[in-house]
Structure 1
């Protein structure tokens, strides 16, 4: 696949992420390792020691992955982690409908590439692990999928009548999933690859399957051949293996809060944002209805949302000891549990994850851990041939299409050979003001009570001038209709909904158009240094 790239600095990413990529010295105090320094990576891998028990790790992964597949390549990857020097390259994502947007695949491809690089360069066994966010309860974020319909972004949504949701991984699809697939079929026009795609989706997404099972099966069907296995914490076994970390989040809550709060304050003082608000508790409670409820702390008393009862610290610790599966980690505690379950020397992160990992260096140390190498994921926009053909005919660089469509249209019209209405109306308004102000003063001198009426007439006339300017712009737009339609099409394709394409469009959209092996082909053309820029993949 042909590709080129543009710097992250030219795109709508946070200042923290831009610094992480291109000016690491600015943020190095917030991380343990520089992901672009091969010497640091080498030393980290040589010094890495897994805090958990490898036999328990292997058994946990075998049991977890058996829920999704019995493919021999999955067992082979799991067994690789039984060796003392093996490491996991972990990444993860919410269980978004039909596999989620492009960045889900980009995370997985980065993990695969990084694991292969570790094996080839440093001689360490490495396994890419995709962590299913199976304890998340944010239904709205996972229930919507975006695709192109004639160059326009449309959203397909999984409806629900529930007021409160269990952990999304436990939600079972009903017949609505069949209707959603039909809706998706009606949007994705038929290609030579459609039958294979629908067979795959029918195998993974069907009535009676949970959101977690469907998502996990899809990921393994596509990427287990590259060594990918799955992980997740929504199981009794996972909670029993991480019981001590869950208990420490309670017994050492003050120290943990201080560690997060101090680093978050330093981030703010350094001019960066804090991605996640720090709270006294990092735990959720799973109630009898399966709903995940935030646990709050007030001194030595702990209580969950919606409950009038509270527990003393000792009672809560006993509850965790006896029923760890009734508890769920927040965004800070989840990576800690990961690193007790897996030998996670590397984590592949998106921009938002890099931001909250920047808050966590001292938090890891409180648990006797070192933060993993935080490897930024591959970032890209898929540029289809129809877009490639029209880009040279337009005056904008690719990154400029992140602007509002109204601004792009105005800039194009103002830059064209046609008369520019802006200076015309600017001069007209200035001349009008010069004429009207003395007249208003003269009328006010005759009758002060008429000043307000005079000002209103002036304002109405200025409004009429603005309306006329709008008509002139519309006339020019009509004259340049073809070019403006091209601008709209490019804008919609590259920045659908005003966001980067990788954040909005289902990755299966491109599988339908270019084949189920499109990601294998992209993987084959990727290099380890491509995550330093945003890539343009020309299809």
Structure 2
């Protein structure tokens, strides 16, 4: 189910009016002091430290896993939407660094388009939360892969990070700090203690939030939706980090991570000694986030929207209002050579992202010598068949339906043959083939939208106007960012 339909079905809070209605809620009493200490340790720009004052008004929050060099460009598009909405209402834009996530397959690859070639660096990261993975063993490989960019001031600053998640936070500060974006790493030593109280509360009734999720999932199914979250019997919404990060189960008064059992007292002792070792699952994370931050708005992607939509009962369990939900922009950077190719064929870039080669072939028809004649002849044949149908129907009305079916089959077969002609002609036209391959590399690398592969700093390092163009982009919908 699409986010818009789901929002209507569940009557979820959306829009600027809902955002403004949620301003003014207080966050954790120690939030500003802890954030200031964290940001000063990272040598954050002055604009970021000044943005802390806006937390008194509220926060528009977004987040993403700690990918290399900021991860795919959608990271920056989330940040842009959050900053823009925060600016409209006088709130702070906060970026949740998902440092507790241990799915390293999502963050260990860095793809760059260099000299018209897609190059990939894949790091052999251990299956740990990114907040626990030191950057030092991988810094040399990153520097070698980035080449001259590694010496650029912003990148060099980011590479000073001690962990993978700190590297990510520093990228945000280096490229978006002047806009006042506040990174928030829940595993940072200054920030992890802010979650002790909420985690203690979850341990006191460890199955309540799981049951709330299952109840809402049942309601969504009854309304015709497909909820993405569900908790199995005994499963909590908490992970415990030992030699690995494992989901806790609860039963008969004790907890287990599948390796050993823990009493509530033992987990509370772990929480006091190192609060970063107890972390929330997806069904609890946004709520814990909003218990610490004065969240008024939450910027998410389409998949995140679906699971956050399922958490209304968990929010109610903790006495919190759900934040106003916003979808991030879908962004596409168009560098000058790619703009020229698109203009040459009058090709809509989003049509190419959605349909790939098929959209290109349709746009390129006019450039293929002799194709128009074939296309015109086939259209003429279809008109003749239509005229024949009219004459046959005058002679015998019962012939109308079979002639109509014949015409439909002729049209479908004609379109199939035209596509074969286009592809055959394309294979022999070096210029067309070159243009198609360039569009694929820039707009659909690996068959995916550009925003899911290349990091936005790649464009910012190549083009001095990239960050300004991003700042000018709309806050919702699809946005082309011309450079």
Task: Look up the match of 1:72.
Answer: 46
Quick one: structure 1 residues 117 and 487, their matched pair in 2 at CA, closer, same or farther if it must change by over 3 Å?
Answer: same
Pairs within 5 Å for 1:287-302: 287=242, 289=243, 291-298=244-251, 300-302=253-255
Task: Specify the SS of the correspondent of 2:467.
Answer: helix
Summarize the alignment of residues 169-318 of structure 1 with structure 2, pairs less than 5 Å apart: 169-174=131-136, 176-185=138-147, 198-206=152-160, 209-235=162-188, 238-279=191-232, 280-287=235-242, 289=243, 291-298=244-251, 300-305=253-258, 307=259, 309-313=260-264, 316=267
Matched, 1:501 2:447: no
Structure 1 partner of 2:64: 93
Q: Count the aligned residue pairs.
A: 436
519 and 286 in structure 1: CA distance in 2 versus 1, 3 angstrom threshold: same
Aligned to 1:519: 467
Aligned pairs for 1:391-402 within 5 A: 391-394=342-345, 397-402=348-353
Cα–Cα, structure 1 residues 399 and 239, in superposed 2: closer, same or farther, change >3 Å? closer
CA-atom RMSD in angstroms: 3.2
Deviations 1:167-206 (A, max 9, x none): 2122122354223332233xxxx8xxx58x7232123215
Task: Give 1:413 deviation, angstroms.
Answer: 9.4
Partner of 1:109: 80
CA contact (8 A) 1:153 1:497 kept: no
Q: 1:224 to 1:414 in 2, by over 3 A?
A: closer
Secondary structure, aligned partner of 1:233: coil
C-alpha distance in 1, partners of 2:420/2:210? 58
Shift of 1:504: 0.9
Q: CA deviation at 1:314?
A: 6.1
Q: Distance in 2 between matches of 1:320 and 1:337?
A: 15
Match of 1:329 among 261, 280, 288: 280
Structure 2 unaligned spans of 5+ = 379-418
Deviation at 1:301, TM superposition (A): 3.5
1:534 has 2:478 as partner:
yes
Q: 1:127 aligns with which of 79, 89, 92?
A: 92
Query: Are the counterparts in 2 of residues 89 and 128 from structure 1 also a CA contact under 8 Å?
Result: yes
Distance 1:271 1:384, change over 3 A: farther
Q: Superposition pairs for residues 318-397 of structure 1, below 5 Å?
A: 320=271, 324-394=275-345, 397=348
Q: Give unpaired runs (5+ residues) of structure 1.
A: 1-14, 120-125, 424-469
CA–CA distance in structure 1, aligned partners of residues 48 and 360 of structure 2 = 51
C-alpha spacing 1:113/1:411, structure 2 compared with 1 (3 Å): closer
For residues 217-254 of structure 1, the C-alpha deviation after alignment (integer angstroms, 9 at most, x for no partner) is 22112222222222122146544432232133233333
Give yes or no for contact 1:172–1:210 (8 Å, CA) kept in 2: yes
The residue matched to 1:331 in structure 2 has which SS? coil
Q: TM-score, normalised by structure 1?
A: 0.72
- Using a 3 Å threshold, how does the CA distance of structure 1 residues 233 and 312 change in structure 2: closer, same or farther? same
